[in-house]
Amino acid sequence: MAQSQWASGLQVDRWAKELYHEVNKEIYFKKFMGSSPQSMIQVKNELNGDAGKKITFGLVARLSGSGITGDSTLEGNEEAMSTYTDTVTTEMIRNAVRNTGKFDDSKNLHDFRSESLSILKTWMAEYIDTEMFTDLSASPTLLLRADASASVEPSSRTYTGLAAAKAALADNDDITLADISALKQFAVLAPQSHYRLRPIRVEGNEYFVLLVHPEQAYDLFNDSTWQQAQREAQMRGDSNPLFKGALGIWDGVVIHQHENITSFTDGGGASVRGAQALFMGSQAGLFANVGTPMWVEKTFDYGNQLGVAGGMIYGSAKASFNSKDFACITYVSSCSALS
């Protein structure tokens, strides 16, 4: 009787596709990603490319003109679009696992290939998320500092450098709903000659995203106004990924939390605990994906041992132009110590 077996090459291809599917599910920023310039994290998928290749993104600023009313002549009074470009350099990341041998595998119920898929996709997703958080948090060019005393207007609490914002922070300068509204107005009015942030449109409505540290979220939860607003709120468009896992919405700002938001203990010049929340609009981040993740299997010791490697070529960056963040404002506040 003839027996049929899958060719090893087809097996590897199947596991590569499975890895691609699993990694996409696990990436935290997936809910914010899309190919459109309207997405918070704009993705470009290049089917052919090598590590080190630079991929160019077009950055589109919102229109600021008042338009033409009535029968006034529009021809000759068109508004010029403000468009910029930013480039992302791709790199290859890889990791691998290797079993002890067939005899050791025979004593375990777990399948080594399946376990390899699980651990490699988790590593890859966490690696990509960590890089994205690092990119979005690095060297902010527009910051708002919280101020519990309310003695300083929001426009006077903006900074172009992180060190100054942290140094001015007091121990009780916690996150406030007023500051979330101020961040939205900064996005619309473009303070200090920065770019106007374009909102993310969902079902005809416009939203921004504020990503906070869990300790900032804890302080927000203890705000009575926040508690009342969320009791009375009705989440709109909650089938959209933008709202999945959100803490709530305030003044058109969708608030999420993640432990990878940068925290610090040297605010106020020495010992104030705080965090750097990220307020973002369309095209805050850029992600270049080159092909699908790689899956490579290799045997050792005359076929007794099996090694499995997973890898990916991609690039990520915070969108910027002329050394200014394009769609990201950093919000610095003190926060409760929970860890």
pLDDT tens per residue, range 288-323? 988 778 889 999 999 899 999 999 999 999 999 888
| Predicted local distance difference test score (pLDDT) of residue 330 | 98
Angstrom distance (rounded) from CA 284 to CA 57 = 12
| Predicted local distance difference test score (pLDDT) of residue 126 | 95
Angstrom distance (rounded) from CA 70 to CA 50 = 54
| Predicted local distance difference test score (pLDDT) of residue 11 | 55
Close Cβ partners of 136 (under 8 Å, ≥ 6 residues apart)? 278, 280, 284, 285, 318, 328
| Predicted local distance difference test score (pLDDT) of residue 265 | 95
Same domain, 146 and 174: yes
Same domain, 108 and 230: no
| 169, 171, 174, 273, 278 from 269: Cα distances, Å | 8, 11, 17, 11, 22
| Predicted local distance difference test score (pLDDT) of residue 194 | 83
Same domain, 184 and 328: yes
Low-confidence ranges of the chain (pLDDT < 70): 1-12, 47-52, 62, 109-110, 192, 233-238
Same domain, 156 and 101: no
| Predicted local distance difference test score (pLDDT) of residue 258 | 97
Domain membership of residue 292 as a residue range: 8-62+80-136+286-318
Same domain, 144 and 256: yes
- Sign for the CA dihedral angle at 29, 35, 40, 41 comes to positive
Could you tell me if residue 1 is inside a domain? Answer: no
| Predicted local distance difference test score (pLDDT) of residue 10 | 46
Please state the pTM of the whole predicted model: 0.86
Q: Is 146:335 a contact under the CB 8 Å cutoff? A: no
**Element holding 212 (H helix, E strand):** strand 205-212
- Which residue from 208, 212, 218, 213 is spatially nearest to 251, judged by alpha carbons? 208
| Predicted local distance difference test score (pLDDT) of residue 8 | 46
Q: What are phi and psi of 211, to 5 degrees?
A: -105, 115
- Token readout for 142 is 């527009």
Could you tell me if residue 2 is inside a domain? Answer: no
| Predicted local distance difference test score (pLDDT) of residue 163 | 95
